[in-house]
Amino acid sequence: MDRTFTSFSAFVLLGVVAADLRQALIFVVCLVVATAFHEFAHAFAADRLGDPTPGRDGRLTLNPLAHADPVGTIGLPLMAGLLHLPLFGWGRPVMTQPRFYTRGMSMRAGMALVSFAGPLANVLQATVTLLAIKLLLVAGVEHKGLFEVLVLFFTLNLTLAVFNLLPVHPLDGGKILAWALPARFSHIDDTLARYGWTILLALMLIPGLLQTLFTPVGIVRDWALRLVVG
């Protein structure tokens, strides 16, 4: 069985640092939910294209436990909370085999479609969360703790979507780029595939690099929240 893509789904939230275990627990709950929808979207897209692998592996479900990684989704975020480190994590990748995809499209196109489904699910979650915040405000609900959780979930989904769309393997964006690039530029995709993990580690380990990269996401987040709050 080949793992045709790995939705690593790692991220450092924009300015969100674990102050205590409570914050980490809230983050873990939000991460588990966001990851479940993200990975289910991958599984659903692959299944609709004719690949039985996600269903056989029990991934064609919204059950969060089916998509959570014991280390990346739970262990490391809790440890970060205890050590007052930046919060980060990832979900368990969905296995898929493009050879089963319908012949109505190229294999690369199918892989790109399956890959794009994950970030799209996060965008949809962010949109629904924003609407929920608006409805609560219109209803006159004033609960600081609830709004903090919703803003965290909104930020998490935006960050997860953008991070996974970075054009680097093994992220979703790597498969999308591989499909979008003309054949004469395939060497670019080969290079990004060869050094993908090195690039990701550099993003994660070089102080301030990832935060700087996600500055536009923070701007969009703040703009959207101001628009909703009015």
55-105 tens-digit pLDDT: 999 999 999 889 988 888 888 777 776 666 666 677 888 999 999 998 788
Cα dihedral sign, 147-150-154-160: positive
Residue 122 scores a pLDDT above 80: yes
| Cα–Cα distance for residue pair 13/31, rounded to 1 Å | 11
Residue 7 scores a pLDDT above 50: no
Q: Which residues pair with 17 in a beta bridge?
A: 86
pLDDT, position 50:
93
Query: Per-residue pLDDT averaged across 200-207, rounded?
Result: 75
Query: Per-residue pLDDT averaged across 121-129, rounded?
Result: 96
pLDDT, position 208:
74
Query: Per-residue pLDDT averaged across 174-199, rounded?
Result: 81
* Band (23; pLDDT cuts 50, 70, 90): confident
pLDDT, position 2:
43
The tokens describing 48, both together, are 């609709």
pLDDT, position 116:
95
Going from the C-alpha of 229 to that of each of 107, 133, 134, 135, the distances in angstroms are 44, 8, 7, 10
| Cα–Cα distance for residue pair 25/176, rounded to 1 Å | 33
Residue 54 scores a pLDDT above 90: yes
Burial-class residue 211 by CB neighbours within 10 Å (0-12, 13-18, 19+): middle
**Per-domain residue ranges for the chain?**
21-229
pLDDT, position 118:
95
pLDDT, position 75:
81
pLDDT, position 86:
64
How high does pLDDT run on average in the chain?
Answer: 83
* Band (11; pLDDT cuts 50, 70, 90): very low
| Cα–Cα distance for residue pair 187/197, rounded to 1 Å | 17
Q: Which residue has the higher pLDDT, 158 or 7?
A: 158
Report the C-alpha dihedral over residues 30, 33, 36, 38, rounded to 10 degrees: -60
Residues designated catalytic: 39
How long, in residues, is the chain? 230
* Band (123; pLDDT cuts 50, 70, 90): very high
Cα dihedral sign, 2-181-194-114: negative
* Band (170; pLDDT cuts 50, 70, 90): confident
* Band (150; pLDDT cuts 50, 70, 90): very high
- What is the SS3 assignment for the chain? CCCCCCCCCCCCCCCCECCCHHHHHHHHHHHHHHHHHHHHHHHHHHHHCCCCHHHHCCCCCCCHHHCECHHHHHHHHHHHHHHCCECCCCECCCCCCHHHCCCCCCHHHHHHHHHHHHHHHHHHHHHHHHHHHHHHHHCCCCCHHHHHHHHHHHHHHHHHHHHHCCCCCCCHHHHHHHHHCCHHHHHHHHHHHHCHHHHHHHHHHCCCHHHHHCHHHHHHHHHHHHHHHC
Give the other-Cβ count within 10 Å of 144's Cβ.
7
pLDDT, position 87:
62
Least confident window among 14-18, 27-31, 62-66, 139-143: 14-18
